[in-house]
Structure 1
Amino acid sequence: MKYSDHANQQALSQVPLWIERFDRHRTLYLFLALAVYLFANNTINASSVWMEHNRDGVTDLNLWEPFVWEYTSALSTLILFPFLAFAFNRNPPRLTGMGRQFLWHLLATILFSAAHVSLMVAMREFLYALAEGNYNFGPWLREYWYEYRKDAWGYVFFFGIYHLLRLAYSRIKGEASLIAENEPAPSTDIAQKPPEHFLVKKLDKEFLVRVGDIEWIESSGNYVNLHSRGRIYPLRSTLKEIAERLAPAGFSRIHRGLVVNHNVIEHISFQPSGDGEVQLRCGKQLNLSRRYREPLKQALA
């Protein structure tokens, strides 16, 4: 298959505007989508509880109570959203080490449920106190088991949705891979050379991204994000691996989560603490850790 750099750049530049906007505030949009889903779902649950208690037209349940129960549960889940994202990224679905994955996620569900129950019970007791009422959670062991079953199922549901959406989005936006990762190298010397291009698979098409066009690389869970001409392409790799692979091409690690292309650096500023900032020609500022200050100076020299 033959590739043209001009054609590749033109095709890759045709990225829908919504993808660009989503990438700028991806975490915020995910949080808002989760909030909308939880509060819509829990509003339906609360109204269902109220209707069940009023089937005979007589109930001692106040209208606000089921909404307090459901909304405190939803709010507690939103507060724990960073924990869920960490858990999902820390151990994504793999076909190897499945026993270890199961145990890790089992522990995560227990911790998530314990935190979720503690938060929502505290909120309910506070709100009932404001209404001059008394909230009784019931026997903790029995009620925790009751809540854990729902929390564990919710964890599994969100885990599946999270990774399905991530897979679909990466295919729409374009996911990178080393162009020669499956091709045998004819000699050790060639195998050690840095790649000149990354292969980007976007839906049913393939494009090339020049290594020289990559401005910086950031760590993102089990992936690294390649930033090239305003676009972001995820690559399944560790930052350490990609930094070592691209070092001969003029890339240096400047932070535990960042690698920069020497050719796009405009200037570097240092602080009295030893840390600093790397200003790129595109206007982006990257943090420079004191740990990588001297290695960067040596690489630039």
Structure 2
Amino acid sequence: MTSGNSFLVQWVQRYPVLTGYLVFFLFLAINAAVNVSSTWTEHQRDPASELLLWQPMLWEYSSVVSTLLCSPLLFWWFKQHPLQFQAPIRQLLLHLAGSVLFSLSHVGIMVTLRSWVYQWLGSNYQFGPLSRELLYEYRKDVWAYVVFLCGYQLARFVYSRLQGEAFQLDTDAGEDSSTGDSGTSDDSTKAPGYFLVKKLDKEYLIRVGDIAWLEANGNYVNLHSKGRIYPMRATLAATMAQLNQSGFCRVHRSLAVNLSYIDSISYQSSGDGSISLSCGQQLPLSRRFKEDFKAAVAS
């Protein structure tokens, strides 16, 4: 059982996006199967029913396909507007607008798929009066939107616990380690040697020298170390204010690199460049940061 759990954790850590979509697909497919069974059973009770089994299957699974096609943009929207305690009215309005766009997209793709199949079978699909049916579909879609949003937030929380979340040793786990993108902080002059990582029910330290590169990700900075990613709640500017003296240099608006991990550098005619790390990672070098990077490498 322990080896099975270990394999599952490693799979989630290695393929987080693929795992998320697989779980999402299974949820949608099982829910559709239950709805098909319910609809078919209900119509079987009526001797006069002319419903064929393929019809509820088409109705439900066209909705599944439509939802999956909409999901990349939907999850992007959730990432841009995560649930927070501040500005609840603004969040409500944003997610209300998001739910309307999701419903219109979902219904449009779903009806198109159903029409194609009906036409292929020599029949016509009747959606019904537009205003009435759109309202009916939105009532279902807004609830689905809420479920997907809560599920997305929960999945990110669980993943952060499986992956391990990093914290500064001199801050509490729940506090933000930065004061903004300006990089100003009471601890900005300190160069930490370690970061604290909390993973499930364990705590351990990772050396700053073992971090190959940093990646800004919304309200977090991802610390890439030995093939693993540890998110830390901070801005890249504030983190760099602490790590400038530890051999790190910013190479892109959202990236910084540990100079000791650089294997080779190539430049393009446009002024941009590419950095190859000894761990096999390729990072872009923006011409905006190229001169500072060259100075840091030469020093």
Contact residue 90 and residue 222 of structure 1 kept, 8 A? no
- Which residue pairs with 1:241 in the alignment? 238
- Cα 1:57–1:290, aligned 2, differ >3 Å: closer, same or farther? farther
Bigger CA drift: 240-249 or 191-200? 240-249
Q: Deviations over 1:83-141 (max 9, x none)?
A: 22112211222222112111111111111111111111111111111111111111111
Residue type of the partner of 1:208? L
Deviation for aligned residue 1:190: 6.0
- Which residue pairs with 1:90 in the alignment? 80
CA distance in 2: counterparts of 1:122 and 1:285, whole angstroms: 41
- Cα 1:233–1:189, aligned 2, differ >3 Å: closer, same or farther? closer
Q: Deviations over 1:62-91 (max 9, x none)?
A: 221111111111111111111221122112
Q: 1:128 aligns with which of 108, 118, 122?
A: 118
- Cα 1:231–1:69, aligned 2, differ >3 Å: closer, same or farther? same
Matched, 1:254 2:245: no
Matched, 1:293 2:283: no
Matched, 1:279 2:276: yes
Contact residue 215 and residue 254 of structure 2 kept, 8 A? yes
Stretches of structure 2 lacking an aligned partner (at least 5 in a row): 176-184
TM-score by length of 1: 0.86
User: Once superposed, what is the RMSD of the aligned Cα atoms?
Assistant: 2.2
Deviation for aligned residue 1:17: 4.1
Deviation for aligned residue 1:282: 1.5
User: For 1:138, what is the secondary structure of its paired residue?
Assistant: coil
TM-score by length of 2: 0.87
Q: Deviations over 1:130-171 (max 9, x none)?
A: 111111111111111111111111111111122122212322
Contact residue 69 and residue 124 of structure 1 kept, 8 A? yes
- Cα 1:27–1:197, aligned 2, differ >3 Å: closer, same or farther? same
User: For 1:148, what is the secondary structure of its paired residue?
Assistant: helix
Deviant stretches of 4+, over 6 Å: none
Contact residue 220 and residue 232 of structure 2 kept, 8 A? yes
- Cα 1:257–1:190, aligned 2, differ >3 Å: closer, same or farther? closer
- Cα 1:62–1:97, aligned 2, differ >3 Å: closer, same or farther? same
Q: Deviations over 1:224-273 (max 9, x none)?
A: 22111222111122334333442332222223332211111111112333
- Which residue pairs with 2:169 in the alignment? 179
Matched, 1:212 2:209: yes
User: For 2:143, what is the secondary structure of its paired residue?
Assistant: helix
Residue type of the partner of 2:288? R
CA distance in 2: counterparts of 1:156 and 1:142, whole angstroms: 22
Contact residue 89 and residue 222 of structure 1 kept, 8 A? no
Give the number of equivalent residue pairs.
283
Stretches of structure 1 lacking an aligned partner (at least 5 in a row): 1-14
- Which residue pairs with 2:181 in the alignment? none
Bigger CA drift: 57-66 or 104-113? 57-66
